[in-house]
Chain A
Amino acid sequence: MTKQEIINRNNIQFRGKGEKIMLLAHGFGCDQDMWRFITPAFEEDYKIVLFDYVGCGKSDFSAYNVERYSVLQGYTQDLLEICSVLQLHDILFIGHSVSSMIGALAAIEQPDLFSKMIFIGPSAKYINDLDYEGGFSQQDLEELLAVMDNNYLGWANFLAPLVMRNEDKPELAEELEESFCSTDPVITRKFAEVTFFSDNRDDLANITQPCLIMQCSDDAIAPDEVGLFVHKQIKNSTFKKMKATGHCPHLSHPEETIELIQKFLIQPDY
């Protein structure tokens, strides 16, 4: 894959005039726009790399492959391909929500590429298990999928002819862009399944980089116990409980988010 091809596929954008690489990975349900309150604070010191996963934001939807993206490893592949084609090294990775695990898998696969990892609202497994509190029952998550189905009812999307999608209805695509952070409903629905039914608990112990876990207060999606579990499993991790509430502190409380990131970055490597 050439540089231009991957830039188009993942709608890669660059910001900042620094040397060190900061790679920002958006979470489920949105796109790189989510980072817009955060990036200005780091533009002086970092070269910031932003992207959309295939099927999100302004990525190339025709590059979506159902089999490839049927597990988080497919999204990890996106991430590693970006790093390899753009020749990124010594990367500071910041992932929101499901991107924490996508980034974690990338950092395990190619440890020498990543220097530090920051996870915002991570969860290694959303569904409760015998001796694990993920926060949700199977039923809860099936209901989420039903709510999504209802919200996307109007979209005449069929998975199979994805490549030629909406050619006959360009107005749909236009309309779509104005809602839901311009995310493709069918892909988002699939992404939801992959995200909420994944289980990465055993992978956490294989992360070697220093990690910061940013835990929101009253996070309905990744509650405290879930964040603490992630912290406990990663040897080299710091846990920070935020005053920010909800699941998107980089949108709702950018100042606190920036401050915590900056504090973590000035910590000496150990």
Chain B
Amino acid sequence: MNLTMQTKLGLQPSEVIGCQFENLLTIGSKIFYQTHFYPLIKMQNSANEIYLIFKGTDRRIPVLLNVEINRSGSSVELICSAMEITNRNRYEKELIDAKKSAEKALSENVGLKKAKDDLVLNKQLLESQLRNLKSLKEQQQEIFKLIAHDFQEPLRKTVFYSNYILNKNVGLPTTVVNQLEKIKTFTSKMRSMLLTLLRFKELEELELEYSSIDLNEIIEQATIDLDLHNDKSVVISYPKSYPQFYADKKMITRLFTELLINSQNDQNPDNSKLNIEISAIETIKNSFFVVTDTYKYDKFVKITYTYNGLGFNSKIFEIVNISVELNKVNLGLAYCKEIVEKHSGSIKAKSVPGEGLYYTILLPIHKPTKPLLH
């Protein structure tokens, strides 16, 4: 190190030997040195016009640095030449500030123009989607009206006439009686399926009431509702810690009730006990699940629900089919999916044969600020 440099840095000749180069730099420059400068000279054996700031005796000394590596035999020599640029640095600073404001203006301008174009496109898209949705909704209303009234009536009459035949014709052959009973059973089943669909429809219309959720309390309530809390064959491990989040308390309790019922129905006969493990962590996710190339990161609670059941070889999309097919008294997993999606969340299921089922439920931590588009 030459004398000029030593004086500027306030170093005695004895201090120079063994001194680490990076320790002469200000902290910001030290990071830059470690993350950029060092890898660069290591890979390319030289670096030119690198801007770094040295810690001077009474002030910081900005320099431009050139470095060459000289390898002779086993020794490696680094030759650095530095040029102090305090005055130029002031000028550069002005340039950078000007560049930044220009960049900001440009990016805002370009950003605005792009946003405007996107908006027009999206409005058109929205228009056509709303039109489709409207006609779909109207169709759906008609169908549900049919289900609620028009379908129920003939079914009720079928049961009525079956009973009528049975009561008015004493001494019918047993086979005929049995067949009539079968007609009655199938018809009742059909009626309860229709009711199930109606209840599903009610859920869709429901307005959520947001409040702060205590997950353990919710799970406990669900076990009490199902009378599971004294059941020794069901072992539930609660989350040890979990983030607070906002949701509809009744609906989330319902979600866990449905999950628990489903786990019971899906119990593996090989296991003496039903083990359910629930955990929850906070995570940050893009809140746009469907729209691509759009990002808004929000906090979510990620709930993992695992149990040692039989499982199934399908994905969540098929869950709806399964639960309708089996027509359990409860609405099952389709209901869960609807509850989660009403909260702008998502639910995924994964089945590992021999191990059980894993549900991953994502729910936003905060309640939505704007009313959701219906």
Contacts and interface: CB of A to CB of B under 8 A. Distances in A.
Partners in one complex: yes
Interface of A: 27-30, 33-34, 65, 67-68, 70-71, 73-74, 77, 97, 108-109, 136, 140-151, 153, 158-161, 178-181, 196, 202, 206, 218, 220-221, 246-248, 251-252
B42 A73 contact: no
Given A73-B284, A143-B29, A147-B51, A65 B293 contact: yes
Nearest to B284: A73
Interface stretch (B208-216, B252-260, B294-302, B307-315): B294-302
A218 B99 CA distance: 36
Interface size class of B (residues with CB under 8 A): 35 or more
Interface stretch (B89-97, B150-158, B182-190, B317-325): B89-97
Contacts, number: 125
B31 A65 contact: no
A144 B34 contact: no
Contacts of A180: 36, 40
Contacts of A251: 38-39, 42-43
B295 A221 contact: no
Contacts of B40: 179-181
Which of the listed residues B22, B51, B110 has the most CB atoms from chain A within 10 Å of its own CB? Answer: B51
A140 B27 contact: yes
A251 B36 CA distance: 12
Given A74-B295, A160-B110, A248 B38 contact: yes
Given A30-B39, A67-B295, A150 B281 contact: no
Nearest to B96: A149
A220 B31 contact: yes
A175 B296 CA distance: 35
A158 B107 contact: yes
B127 to A, nearest CB: 25
Nearest to B297: A71
Contacts of A247: 34-35, 38
B50 interface: yes
A24 B26 CA distance: 31
Given A147-B52, A158-B103, A248-B39, A67 B28 contact: no
Contacts of A202: 282
B68 to A, nearest CB: 15
Contacts of A206: 281
B50 A67 contact: no
Interface in B247-290: 281-286
A35 to B, nearest CB: 12
Contacts of A70: 295, 297
Nearest to B293: A65
A147 B39 contact: no
Contacts of B50: 151
A199 to B, nearest CB: 11
Contacts of A77: 286
B35 A109 contact: no
A57 to B, nearest CB: 12
A143 B89 CA distance: 14
Nearest to B99: A153
Nearest to B350: A112
A28 B22 CA distance: 18
Contact of B89 (A74, A142, A150): A150
Interface in B165-218: none
Nearest to A251: B42
Which of the listed residues B39, B42, B50, B110 has the most CB atoms from chain A within 10 Å of its own CB? Answer: B39
B106 interface: yes
Given A144-B31, A159-B103, 11 more contacts: A65-B295, A143-B26, A145-B28, A153-B51, A158-B103, A160-B107, A161-B110, A202-B282, A220-B27, A247-B34, A248-B42
B340 interface: no
Contact of A221 (B35, B44, B53, B293): B35
Contacts of B293: 65, 68
B339 to A, nearest CB: 23
Given A68-B295, A149-B96, A29 B282 contact: no
Contacts of B100: 149
B295 to A, nearest CB: 4
B39 A34 contact: yes
Interface string B7-41: 00000000000001010001111111011101110
B296 A142 contact: no
A207 to B, nearest CB: 11
Nearest to B104: A159
Nearest to B95: A153
Nearest to A219: B34
A158 B101 CA distance: 11
A60 B100 CA distance: 25
A60 to B, nearest CB: 14
Contacts of A30: 35-36, 39
Which of the listed residues A150, A151, A178 has the most CB atoms from chain B within 10 Å of its own CB? Answer: A150
23 contacts: A33-B43, A67-B294, A67-B296, A73-B284, A73-B286, A108-B281, A109-B283, A140-B31, A143-B28, A147-B51, A149-B96, A150-B96, A151-B32, A153-B96, A153-B99, A160-B109, A179-B47, A180-B40, A181-B36, A218-B20, A220-B27, A220-B30, A220-B34
